Chains A and B, each alone.
Chain A
Amino acid sequence: KNQVEQSPQSLIILEGKNCTLQCNYTVSPFSNLRWYKQDTGRGPVSLTIMTFSENTKSNGRYTATLDADTKQSSLHITASQLSDSASYICVVTTPYSNSGYALNFGKGTSLLVTP
């Protein structure tokens, strides 16, 4: 079972509307959580990165929240634009011995913003 679950799998919204994407994780311990935006045919671009002590971080119209107690994160997009159409990927990093890290990826939410 994937340790990082994203919902919904896909979403269609009208331009100008707000939306919220969810990321629930079970991995432990926790190092940080990132949200990436990936346009079709391109590499992912980092939107936010949050550590355990941070519960909200913004990047323009994107605001990520983190509840480390419930192991939930959300990405809120305000006043959506056509260019927001992309896949949004949640990644949770966990440390392990010998200064290593493990990356746990969600399978992404595909967002389509229509005129």
Chain B
Amino acid sequence: KAGVTQTPRYLIKTRGQQVTLSCSPISGHRSVSWYQQTPGQGLQFLFEYFSETQRNKGNFPGRFSGRQFSNSRSEMNVSTLELGDSALYLCASSLDRGFNEQFFGPGTRLTVL
């Protein structure tokens, strides 16, 4: 069974631009969660999607948004990029919502210049 895939793996943007990251969960998994990881803050939860609806949200500004499609694939978007948005963005999938057994993808490394 294929694992969680994230695209792209690496991305370089400049301040003010926007970016869209993609996550394909494990087949049959219906919950997708997004996380930001930086050396200073560690892992931080962004949001969780289940059945195309955002079910949980972390403490991030509205520039961070996401969505989930009917096939459970998810995208997250960051608008008006800031230097501090440089981070590893991780996606995790699980069968159901509630943060039960989660499987993480390899992440997308975003660098904002």
Question: How many A-B pairs with Cβ below 8 Å?
Answer: 45
- A64 close to B (CB within 8 Å): no
- B45 close to A (CB within 8 Å): yes
CB proximity to B under 8 Å, residues A41-55: 41-46, 49
Tell me, rounded to whole Å, the shortest Cβ–Cβ distance linking A100 to chain B.
5
- B71 close to A (CB within 8 Å): no
Question: SS class of chain A's interface: helix, strand, loop or mixed?
Answer: strand
Contact of A43 among B41, B48, B58, B106 (CB under 8 A): B106
Of the stretches B61-69, B78-86, B95-103, the one at the interface is B95-103
- Count how many chain B residues have C-beta atoms less than 8 Å from C-beta atoms of the other chain: 22
B residues contacting A by CB (< 8 A) are 4, 41-45, 48, 55-56, 58, 90, 92, 98-107
A residues contacting B by CB (< 8 A) are 32, 41-46, 49, 89, 91, 93, 99-103, 105-108
Bound CA–CA A44/B43 (angstroms): 10
**Within 8 Å CB of B98, what residues of A?**
101
